[in-house]
Structure 1
Amino acid sequence: MTVRSLTPARAGRDSTIALLALLAGGIAIGGSPIFVRLSELGPITTAVWRLGLALIPFGLWAVVDRATDTESRKPERLGDFIALAVPGVMLAADLAAWHLALHETSVANATLLSNMAPIFVTIGSWFFFRTAITARFTAGLVIALVGVIVLKGGPALFNGNGSLRGDLTALVAAMFYAGYILGVGRLRRRFDTLSIMLWTTAAAGLTLLPVALVYEPAFFPTTLFGLAMLFGIAWISHAGGQGMITYALAWLSPAFSSLTLLIQPVVAGILAWLVLAEPIGAMQAIGGIVVLAGIVIARRG
């Protein structure tokens, strides 16, 4: 990959575009719990369709990219494909755990707990890569996490509102998503967005396919509505959301990126209220404001 020297103005502009892409990606992924809940298929099978259908826009992108991009490094050696497959396995585990959690507990619980990934990303960044964490970033992280808890009802969230098994499954999803974010953050220095999305998505789909075929009875949707839900989660949430997030990781640190994605519970809470009739009140609105305040503080740190 050719290394370019960027002027401060160019670097600032690219960083701003990356931040906007990150926020848009977080919003797109925030709608995925609704697609999962409304899907006619089981949680693992829905995840397989999500990954498989997402390969269609990635494949079209690859055709165009091959003809226009002559500078970005593509995977060529076996080691490259193995490196790209590891985050894909992490993504498969994350999606499997999160989709299961969405069927075992409320959208609020599952989205909140699965978005605790910033805790694990920060710990992982420090432990594996010795990434420096500033006091202001830590303060922003704490404020944002407090805001998410307020958004979902405060401490009462953990007192019987949803199954304990589903809540723990969502926490497991957060751990695997943290591993995915860290892995993609490192790969983004070596490969372009398309290569990462294409190969991690394929690896994740191949990992989950045998699980879906063995453990869930139905593999094909029976109505156009069911098919639309699969295309929605694949093209809007995965191809669109994850693609924008992966692009943003070229300019933003994994720790900050995972923190900004706490906007997902805000989006999920609003959509759950509109589509699934899960109520939202003053406390939820205050929580959303606190989350955004934490993001701003962390960004300045």
Structure 2
Amino acid sequence: MPQPIFPATASASRNRLALTALLLGGIAIGGSPIFVRLSELGPMATAFWRVALAFLPLFIVFRATRQDQTKRPEGLRDMLALTLPGVFLAADLIAWHASIHVTTVANATLLANLAPVFVTAAAWMFFGASITRAFLVGLSVAIAGIVVLKGGLSGLAAGDRSGDALAVLAAVFYAGYMLSVARLRGRFDTVRVMVWSTLSAALCLLPVVLVTESQFFPVTIFGWTMLLGLALISHAGGQVAITYALAYLPTAFSSLTLLLQPVVAAFLGVIVLNEGVTVLQVMGGAIVLCGILQARRK
């Protein structure tokens, strides 16, 4: 019998812990554009080291835990299912990083954050999830807030269609990542899912890096520091927190909450990169938060 897309209701305290983990995970991933921008390497090499460097600490934690108390994969089908999120994640990173070089950064970021739309549609069409009108209103408000944050509809017109299409494709792949992780968390523990998916993503990204990038290793300590921050904070920290939360919170709502990422990225851009902040960006961030709160109420 297939696993439900919405996990069984946990205790109120467990739900609060899961929501806290989800918010912290969204904040941690929100810092990834800063690390990517400051990286000495090209986009594909940076994406590879993001998961490759995160694999080692995840594997150490995995080996240190008592595996006799957790469910193990029972055959080839389970193994393939555990690698699937990594394939989706690698495809997401490839499409998004490629889109940045073709269309505007604002368009690439905005369109790649349409993942909640695809998660909600897939959860309703394929997994029988109940989507309320109030949730759809919250989703629409949050998406509108991202549009405002990125400069409004006029800013979208400045992009390239092929690059915009790549960014939308990245959103589809990330939706696949979240849905596949949510299904797995009904059977396997957080660390096992992360170890398998992280290794899978690294193996998928490695040949792409070897073909497309001229530089594989950073040459300074600063370069390695940026990669370690991306790997340990955004991936090992952020994705682990999100993977944990997906066992206890509805996938559609979880994906909506992750719209905090561009808000966090804009905030960090002001602090770390001394980028200016406009009234429009502040309004956009506030609209996103209102949309998430509306969805949370329902």
**TM-score of the two chains, using structure 1 as the length reference:** 0.92
Given that 1:43 and 1:103 are in contact with CA atoms closer than 8 Å, whether structure 2 keeps it comes out as no
**More displaced, 74-83 or 41-50?**
74-83
- Equivalent in the alignment of 1:54: 54
Counterparts of 1:227 and 1:154, CA distance in 2: 36
- Equivalent in the alignment of 1:295: 292
Q: Give me the identity figure in percent.
A: 56
Given that 1:97 and 1:169 are in contact with CA atoms closer than 8 Å, whether structure 2 keeps it comes out as yes
- Over the aligned positions, Cα root-mean-square deviation in angstroms equals 1.6
**More displaced, 103-112 or 239-248?**
103-112
Give the C-alpha shift of residue 102 in structure 1.
3.4
Counterparts of 2:277 and 2:163, CA distance in 1: 21
**More displaced, 149-158 or 173-182?**
149-158
Counterparts of 2:162 and 2:215, CA distance in 1: 24
Matched, 1:220 2:217: yes
**More displaced, 71-80 or 241-250?**
71-80
**Secondary structure at the counterpart of residue 119 of structure 1:** helix
Counterparts of 1:233 and 1:100, CA distance in 2: 18
**TM-score of the two chains, using structure 2 as the length reference:** 0.92
**Secondary structure at the counterpart of residue 133 of structure 1:** coil
Query: Could you tell me which amino acid in structure 1 is paired with residue 32 of structure 2?
Result: S
Matched, 1:110 2:87: no
Query: Could you tell me which amino acid in structure 1 is paired with residue 44 of structure 2?
Result: I
Cα distance 1:26–1:238, how it changes in 2: closer, same or farther (>3 A)?
same
Map residues 1-301 of structure 1 onto 2, 5 A cutoff.
11-66=11-66, 70-160=68-158, 162-301=159-298
**Where in structure 1 are there 5+ consecutive unaligned residues?**
1-7
Counterparts of 1:215 and 1:75, CA distance in 2: 34
* Number of equivalences: 290
**More displaced, 265-274 or 192-201?**
265-274
**Secondary structure at the counterpart of residue 44 of structure 2:** helix
- Equivalent in the alignment of 2:3: none
Query: Could you tell me which amino acid in structure 2 is paired with residue 49 of structure 1?
Result: W
- Equivalent in the alignment of 2:6: none
Counterparts of 1:11 and 1:142, CA distance in 2: 29
Counterparts of 1:107 and 1:195, CA distance in 2: 34
Cα distance 1:229–1:164, how it changes in 2: closer, same or farther (>3 A)?
farther
Give the C-alpha shift of residue 273 in structure 1.
3.2
**Secondary structure at the counterpart of residue 75 of structure 1:** coil
**Secondary structure at the counterpart of residue 250 of structure 1:** coil
Counterparts of 2:161 and 2:268, CA distance in 1: 23
- Equivalent in the alignment of 1:3: none
Counterparts of 2:171 and 2:82, CA distance in 1: 20
Given that 1:111 and 1:264 are in contact with CA atoms closer than 8 Å, whether structure 2 keeps it comes out as no
Query: Could you tell me which amino acid in structure 2 is paired with residue 188 of structure 1?
Result: R
Given that 1:108 and 1:265 are in contact with CA atoms closer than 8 Å, whether structure 2 keeps it comes out as no
**Where in structure 2 are there 5+ consecutive unaligned residues?**
1-8
Given that 1:36 and 1:43 are in contact with CA atoms closer than 8 Å, whether structure 2 keeps it comes out as yes
Give the C-alpha shift of residue 56 in structure 1.
1.5
Counterparts of 1:157 and 1:247, CA distance in 2: 36
Counterparts of 1:250 and 1:18, CA distance in 2: 8
1:250-285 alpha-carbon deviations (Å, 9 max, x no partner)? 110110000000000101112223344543211111
Counterparts of 2:74 and 2:222, CA distance in 1: 40
Give the C-alpha shift of residue 31 in structure 1.
0.7
Given that 1:36 and 1:99 are in contact with CA atoms closer than 8 Å, whether structure 2 keeps it comes out as no
